[in-house]
Amino acid sequence: MSNTYRPLIGLEIHVELKTKSKMFCQCDAEYFGKPPNSNTCPVCLGLPGALPVPNKQAVEWTIKIGKAFNCIINKITKFDRKHYFYPDLPKGYQISQYDEPIAVKGFIEANGKKFRIHRVHLEEDTGKLIHSRGESLVDFNRSSVPLVEIVTEADFDNEDDVVSFLKELHTIIQQYLDVSNADMDRGSMRMEPNISVRKPGEDGFPPYKVEVKNINSFNFVKKAIQYEIKRQTEILENGEIPVQETRGYNETKGITISQRVKEEAADYRYFPEPDIPPMVFEQKFIDSIEIPELPSQKLSRYVSEFKIKESDAFTLTRDGSIADFFEKVVGMTQKVAPQQIANLIVNKKLPVTPTVISEEEFVKRAEEQAAPKQTDSSVLDAAVKKVISANEKVVQDYKSGKENAIMFLVGQVMREMKGKADANVVKSRLIEFLTSSRA
Ligand code: ZN
Ligand code: MN
């Protein structure tokens, strides 16, 4: 019980998989930039009699996502037809999954909290409507591209947690599992928050929920949620109940706009897809799908193993290739502490992409920068005297004109100083000593 208005937020996220072919046919799954309707066949155009054949890679990748999100993978799963009429859906239904999704009951950690995943299922993307010059055109190149839908529980009560969660999910899918470009500008990751607000003293779920459709940036998700919380709270304060509906976010105005009154599951008249038999997975098969070390696991390992700051570990693990680079470099040098390497990368003191400089070059420069220079000249002088008296023969060689002998002595002093000296300073100091003792 609480005496304030409290938001209740859940999420639905759609991610296109970057398989080679589409979900149920052999057309190219990469449709971006292709001439309209050039990337189609009878299956993805939904022509009568065409038979869908599921893409095995897409099924495996959905299991991979489910496992990475700590889900239970259902051993028996099937596709269903979800009916609705819209011009971008030529069959009149979308092949999706209804009551037996591939994965259920998982969670992702973000901001130090666990947010539950309700389900992860596989479906097909729709075509795309293009509105131009008073006409509406439809492009089916995207039709039937494999699409994974992730649904969370309504576990969020503020927009910052939502954004942290979405960023974590994006990093896992794009950087670590490598199953989707998750490119929001190109629409391969789309986010839909559903928001309601509980009245003071109200527990459980409010009698309505508002879904904001197809948002393509973290920042717009945040703004849409802030706008909805304010709008709904005002309605509730007036003693009314917000309408259950689907709204769209208008980026330029920063507001949400009513689109349609929300459908119920019954409106879709789901039934099992008769052209695709249910899929039955053996445990062996599920176990064979491997999950790499995930960003949150890497982060804790960096903190415990390398003793680096948690905020730096966070930054390093956001990009898989930077994390790999960091670990490789740490393994290549004893002279630079992991925290110093992390500083160089995080503060962009040195370029980090292996394409710009090699790991070897990075290590060399890091060691140069890291070697703390001894500035106390009495320490240097002591080392110089020690080396001169311990190497009489070499000193004689130098004094009798073998100039190169000095380099041996420089090396000995550097060793004595454990590298914490500038070789040029050492050399000139040695020469001063040797010439003055000669005089
Ligand atoms: Zn096709
Ligand atoms: Mn969907």
Query: What are the pLDDT digits (tens) for 97-114?
Result: 999 999 999 999 999 999
In the prediction, which pLDDT does 349 show? 72
The per-type count for the chain, helices as H runs and strands as E runs, is 13, 16
Q: Which residues contact 135 (CB under 8 A, 6 or more apart)?
A: none
Determine contact, residues 42/140, Cβ cutoff 8 Å. no
And the tokens for 220?
């717009």
CA of 367 to the centre of ligand 1 (A): 55
Tell me: pLDDT of 338 over 80: yes
How much distance in Å is there from the Cα of 383 to the middle of ligand 2? 73
Q: Burial-class residue 251 by CB neighbours within 10 Å (0-12, 13-18, 19+).
A: middle
Report pLDDT digits (tens) over 25-74: 999 999 999 999 999 999 999 999 999 999 999 999 999 999 999 999 99
Residue-averaged pLDDT of the chain: 92
Which ligand is closest in space to the CA of residue 50?
Answer: 1
Averaged pLDDT for residues 8-14: 98
Ligand 1 mean position to 34 CA, how many Å? 14
Q: Do 168 and 296 meet the contact criterion of CB atoms below 8 Å apart?
A: yes
| CA of residue 387 to ligand 2 center, whole Å | 76
37 alpha carbon, closest ligand: 1
Q: How far is the CA of 14 from the centre of ligand 2 (A)?
A: 7
Query: Which ligand is nearest the CA of 42, by number?
Result: 1
Q: How confident is the model at residue 365 (pLDDT cuts 50, 70, 90)?
A: confident
Is 55 strand, coil or helix? Answer: coil
Whose CA is closest to 316, among 291, 294, 295, 337? 295
User: At how many degrees (to 10) do helices 392-399 and 423-438 cross?
Assistant: 80
Q: Does pLDDT of 389 surpass 60?
A: yes
Whose atoms come closest to the Cα of 147: which ligand? 2
Centre of ligand 1 to C-alpha 383, Å, is 77
Distance, CA of 46 to CA of 49 (rounded, Å): 8
Task: Decide if pLDDT at 354 tops 70.
Answer: no
- Dump the DSSP string for 131-169: EETTEEEEE-TTTT-EEEEEEE-S-BSSHHHHHHHHHHH
Residue 15 alpha carbon to ligand 2 centre in Å: 10
* Burial class (CB within 10 angstroms; exposed 0-12, middle 13-18, buried 19+) of 184: middle
pLDDT digits (tens, 9 = 90+) for 162-186: 999 999 999 999 999 999 999 999 9
